[in-house]
A = this chain, B = another copy of it.
Amino acid sequence: MEEEFFGKLREKILPYFEGVNPCHDISHTERVLNLALAIGEEEGANLEILEVAVLLHDVARKEQDESRGTVCHAGRGGEMAKEILDELGYPLDKIEKVVHCIETHRFRKGNVPESVEAKVLYDSDKLDSIGAIGIGRAFSFSGYLGSHVHFLDLDLTDDEEYGEKDCAYREFLTKLLKVKDKMLTERGRELAEERHDFMVEFFDRINKEVGGEL
């Protein structure tokens, strides 16, 4: 029964990922799922609620991108998740728990993750933006925007995001360095510290390589 439900759920979400930018495609959701199940087990989360929430957490990402940010994919994603789960006949009490995870996974406008499942989703989603995979995503996104691979003279005072002057190193300095301090679970924090250190090593290294030192 559970397997059948997840099969149907996966079928339902796939169309929402068609044409989404490479950093938020379905493989991001799969990676977050791997992490969430590993962290969730250690944190004593309900793994069913967690898996459903992870699979649905980015269904509104395409709408957000297409709206140029006026739609919030967390809030809208919560609404869409409710509709999708209703159609699948998922129990209402569980739907509410899933929706809480999705609505709070962006942690903006006072939407604070309260349940352990919400905290695990939040941490797992953020963890995918740091470490080696975070580095890969940041460079991939800059290529997607047609920006340079690595700027030698980075202007951090210009705070325009996601333009041609964006690059992975800028993303690292302005955002990714702060991620480890936002973790909400113990295991998330441990993983984040370790991924953080690798990122720091990577960018230190790339700057030496670019200067012809390494």
Is A133 located at the chain interface by the 8 A CB criterion? Answer: yes
Closest approach, in angstroms, between the C-beta of A141 and any C-beta of chain B?
A: 6
With a cutoff of 8 Å between Cβ atoms, the chain B residues found around residue A211 in the complex are 34
Is A76 located at the chain interface by the 8 A CB criterion? Answer: no
- Contact residue among B22, B27, B168, B212 (Cβ-Cβ distance under 8 Å from A136): B168
With a cutoff of 8 Å between Cβ atoms, the chain B residues found around residue A38 in the complex are 212-213
Interface residues of A in 117-146 (CB under 8 A from B): 131-133, 135-146
With a cutoff of 8 Å between Cβ atoms, the chain B residues found around residue A140 in the complex are 139-140, 142-143, 149, 168
B137 pairs with A149, CB closer than 8 A: yes
Known: A27-B152, A205-B198, A209-B195. A22 touches B132 (CB 8 A): no
Closest approach, in angstroms, between the C-beta of A31 and any C-beta of chain B?
A: 5
Known: A136-B150, A198-B205, A206-B136. A22 touches B142 (CB 8 A): yes
Closest approach, in angstroms, between the C-beta of A180 and any C-beta of chain B?
A: 14
With a cutoff of 8 Å between Cβ atoms, the chain B residues found around residue A144 in the complex are 143-144, 146
- Contact residue among B30, B202, B203, B210 (Cβ-Cβ distance under 8 Å from A152): B30
Is A1 located at the chain interface by the 8 A CB criterion? Answer: no
Is A165 located at the chain interface by the 8 A CB criterion? Answer: no
Closest approach, in angstroms, between the C-beta of A162 and any C-beta of chain B?
A: 13
Is A37 located at the chain interface by the 8 A CB criterion? Answer: yes
